[in-house]
Structure 1
């Protein structure tokens, strides 16, 4: 007999996020536990017509990944805040989609998960519960351990450097809050991240292997290599014979980055580029000629 399990990926501010910021989640947690489904139980008690008391009881663990508090978490009832009961999420109220995960649980099969507990005043609460059978738990635990090494760093400059190393290692990118914080303490002078020489080399190699989110980090340091990357991307897109399979937006972006021009480029080539889609959109045969012309223009600029 199969049992339908419905587990929320995250509680509180993390409930409706499609992508977990594991770094923030780890740093905001006091206790992190790697557990199996039989290591814990959920309880819900209806108190009245408008409030339910939700708790989790952790009976055992597979591994303690983090614990920096003295509070006992075993065999005690820990509150589980729920949206619409203990707090109200602005995104939910304003119409953002609810994100949850439903899974079919098979008997005699192990289902692992990670519990994130946070101390509030003198009590522990469940901050998040990551429960997905398709997760690479070893990789996730490795990331959590890496984050804790950063947490133990005392120098703010060293903490910034290690955070950048972490983001690069896992093909990730800092949030707006991260950048604003390091601007506030004068480690960053603008919205642009600062990388040392080794980090720049890593970011460039990651970019050339397809991690295009690092474009802003590397384009002005390695303009020739970045241009060549996007010229090759333009050529690949232009070779697609079926118009419906072509993303002219991607081609346009590749051209702008290959030539270091902007969206509002009003040069002859810029106006030609705008005919790929929009109000001045041309027929497909003409678009193919336009793409060829733009590629040649990008190559001429790059090889001067």
Structure 2
């Protein structure tokens, strides 16, 4: 005896296909948008018991309009016009997908299967990149199902969670249609030295007491490599120096960001002469006039 899909099966198929073709997950994809509408329209018809029965008997078409008998409804569609409904077996996910995906064309009319070239399915991937590559740009490799690899160009200034679209790197097209795209979600690894603030980069740099007091030239690590920087005299912990153009590289018409370096004064190794000086030093009025270790 022929068996039909239950309302629960129809509902589950609808939810899965609606998620798959939802416009929010396929921005700019007109084919997915049309499929989303088609799935919704098919669900409206199949979830109504009376309309579903009339459509199955061929009394109405996919738009709910009266038609002659013998059309076969979605049973006929599912079996390619032979008038049977999966001959006693349970529905598979592909079966239900065929019903929903093939019932309606772009204008809501009945069709058996899409004809002509169709774009292939998009593929979803995840890729973790280093902080340095997210700032400077670079190339990373994605391993595809089956072991093949795909080199991905990382543009400067990419953000955590951003999605790269590689056109034509998804599934092959149908009947000569274009291949789908590879959609790659980027995760940026935290860095032990740098943090990002828009197109600017920030870091903390330790300096010795002598350089903080007298000033001088120091070597500063930057995302693009070490550079020389002058520390002004009388610098203190928390002082921030700017290296122009040493942040995120220029990209997309935006200028390169800056690197902001916060100084952290470190005492380091202390010798006897420095200790003697500190004992006689009065921060408020210069050197202490007291003589001898026993002054009170």
- The two structures share one fold, judged by TM-score above 0.5: no
Which one scores higher on RCO, CA 8 angstroms, separation ≥ 6?
A: 1
TM-score by length of 1: 0.18
**TM-score, normalised with respect to structure 2:** 0.18
Which protein is richer in helix relative to its size?
1
